[in-house]
Structure 1
């Protein structure tokens, strides 16, 4: 058996009622790549087959009680054992009827006594390598099935993404188109009363909101594409997190006022670390925007503090909250923050989570329906 291509330990079963024969075959076939189990009867052999995956079975035909042919018939009738190759060992003279009965009962080959060591090793080696090849093929099929499942999952995700993106992109475009058509009709009719300073301010404000919504949708689509291809790059630099969040807060004041939401900010003097300012600003903006969107018009709190290994930012609202069964999945792609209808691609929190993980940090949320949500971001101070 030396020189075999077998790479993992395989089980062989030897069945013979004579101990000396078992010993002789075991010594002949024994190598470090083979685990040999012995049985002195058909019943004992069947018990071993229940718990072992045998590559080949060498079965003596002439045994008291259950002979080799009967054992083979039992093996062929059971799912777990029906595919085990059986090599019959016999001292009977070469007889065609005898051989036919052996093959009919499930034999793949015969070994005739007195045994030729070279023939025994060669035949057993063939079936061991066949078993090994079968195992390798099964692994390849399993790997292909995994790849197929992943491709199907990716295809479903792509189709879902395209459906959501198409719907979400059409909405602001439709609004802009209708508004443009209304203004054109007013101009064609010479109705200049539709363009008073007050009405123009409202028009520009409405247009800005729709354009901003389009920009956010496109940015989210680009970010999720970069994440999927592993190209979401980070530009780490030394910066003050407290100052960064204050800048985001100042930049969002008009949005807060327009939504009628009071923002309470509490931060320590300075937290210096290496972060991507643009991406962390994106994280805070997303969390504050969600707090306003789902905060039911109630005050929102943002708190910044320095821990031992992390800078910690919490954004707390007192709005509609998130159902318990949805808390674990809101950071997945295409998931909305609540069970209600909401605008957007359902990518915001997914992108937030990816950015935070790229900063060697993590985010979690505590929430209950009707009781608001608390998002907590932990950013590593040791990048």
Structure 2
């Protein structure tokens, strides 16, 4: 049945040479490509045809690609058409964020990766053809009562697969928004702090050394955002459900000291503080960005639910594992909720008023598990919580600790 279904593709670009090149790249026997050199021409084609995919150039004279996408999302006939944006602008323009806000499913930068473009277009073509095939099956079901039971079974199976795909998409987008928020909050906090210094005339806060530190922090947060977008849109990672882990050697104690310092302003705003009770130098091979993400989430939660009481942090080696503990003296978690909080979208009832999507601990546990580690929680309702992150140490470090233990 699929062999009789042709998927129509729309490509929009004001440059004829770009249209010709993209047309040649995505052509195939199971598809038909329509070209438009302006948003106005594209709208006419959209009203006339049913498209499996629209590939829009961002920068066009008159109505640009983002404006065209907003119009498409406002019309019943075109709102469900998947949109892929293409731009020659550098990644620093942050067009990708605006693209996803406009409802895009992907954002490609020029020069295009030919294999990636072909693969992604083929996925949308296959999805469209499968959906059209399902529609024809439904029509056949209505025409033939004799085949009703068999076709109904096929429909239920297909419906379950589609619902599962939608749930996976929604979960994925929720995780993306949650992860992006962490570096964005860091940038916003830096901007607010600088504005406060300027309003008070505190120019000493902008000495050469301090400006250099500010720029380094900004670059770190911006790079975090870029990596989040690139990693979360990786097709193979979506299909396998595996996190992207890039290990390198670093000192866990140094990372924690920096985090505690970064969170000091947030703690002061809550009339409390973070106490670094123990901080050993623990070298290991882990993904520094991902581990920082985990620990920042734990510190943020400790301050949020700690009822304005001091938060205590410890870093030490525990046999073959490195351990970071974050202890608060807040509302605590009862036994029946201690496993549930690590699931997606789960928050205990007492924490509902604090907001959040309930994804932080789920993401953190997946990151730690991907490193071969674990997260443990020791808590009682009303008595605070201790979250312990255990990460495997390199074999050389484990062997050295064993020798020291034997000598002692």
TM-score by length of 1: 0.45
Structure (1 or 2) with the larger CA radius of gyration: 1
More helix by share: 2
TM-score by length of 2: 0.42
